[in-house]
Structures are given as C-alpha cells and as structure tokens.
Amino acid sequence: MRIDDGWLPGARRLPSPNQDERPAGEVSLLLLHSISLPPGTFGGEHIERLFTNRLDPEAHPFFATIAELRVSAHLLIRRDGECVQFVPFQARAWHAGRSRWRDGGRERRALNDFALGIELEGDEVSPYTGAQYRALAAVTRALLEAYPALDEARITSHARVAPLRKSDPGPAFDWAYFRQEMERIRS
C-alpha cells in the first residue's frame, strides 16, 4: 500500500472542514486515539458526523456537550477494519488538543503541526479487533514509507502526550500485538 497525494488508497474519503495547512509541512509523529459515540457504543455514523460538523446535538444527551467541537483526525479505523479518511496526511487535522511531546532533548507543543492522528473506533476498556490491528499496521507501514521523518519510535498514544487530560487508546490497546502485526507486514 502506498500513500497517494496524501490519501490512503482504498480508504473511504469523507473530507472534514476541520483542517488547514501544516505551518512547516513536517510529518514526524503518529498519534493513536480511540473514539466511540455515544461513549461505549460502536457502529453508526456519529463519529463521521462529529468530524464533519454535522453531529445532531439532540440525537443523544452526550452529543449536546460535544456538537460544537471542531475536531477531526486524518483517519478512522472502524471495528471491521474499514478506513475512513477525513484529512489528507500532508494537511493538519485537529486532533491532539493541548499536548506535549519530548522530541530528543526538546519539548514540543502544537502537535497538530507535525502529527498524524489515527482514531480507532473503540473505547479504553473494550478489546480492539484483529481487523483494526491489521488495518492499523498496514496504514502505519505505508506512512513510515511515505514520511521519512516518521519512524517507529515516533508512534505514541494520545494518553502519552496529554496524560492529565486523555487516556486513549487506553489499556485495551495491545501495543505488543500491534508491533507483531507491524513485523508480520515487514516480512
């Protein structure tokens, strides 16, 4: 799989208005997130509606608290492994929020400027699916090939860059299994 002009081949494209240009064009960090809407519920179109500013605040009591958010991610990987791309990888998606990353000896902020955001449909306590790990590993391999400043040491979780604010993708995400899938693809 190769990235084509910032888009993942085979991914369903659903462009989000919540994006802009990267100030320096740098892509050097991959942030993994999790999302379920309503919380703990999988399937449906609510995540897509949130990332495209079409979430109905009256469809669920929780939605009233988030419907005005202007957020996005580059990619959503659904429970069945389907990939939905909202923002081309060379553009800045709005996913990291207030976060910090230690890059060598320096602390960096404004992570959206240089990070890619991949959302896994899930929550922090439910196991992710094999289809999600396979899709994530394939996408990650393609991103590592497309963006030379990105390497395996620059793949982390939202929880690690915003530990007082976020906990995703949570303890349910199996980092060892993800690495195993990455190695399987490399072979």
From CA 89, how far away is CA 64, in angstroms rounded? 30
DSSP character for 146?
H
Q: Which residue has the tokens 């980092």?
A: 175
Report how far residue 74's alpha carbon sits from residue 84's, in angstroms, rounded to the nearest whole number. 9
| Dist CA 89 CA 5 (whole Å) | 8
E strands, 110-151, in order: 115-121
Residue 107 annotated among the catalytic residues of the structure: no
Among residues 119, 124, 145, 152, which one is catalytic? 119
| Cβ neighbours for 104, distance < 8 A, ≥ 6 positions apart | none
Query: Would strands 155-157 and 29-35 be described as parallel, antiparallel, or unpaired?
Result: parallel
Give the residue numbers annotated as catalytic, written as ranges: 119
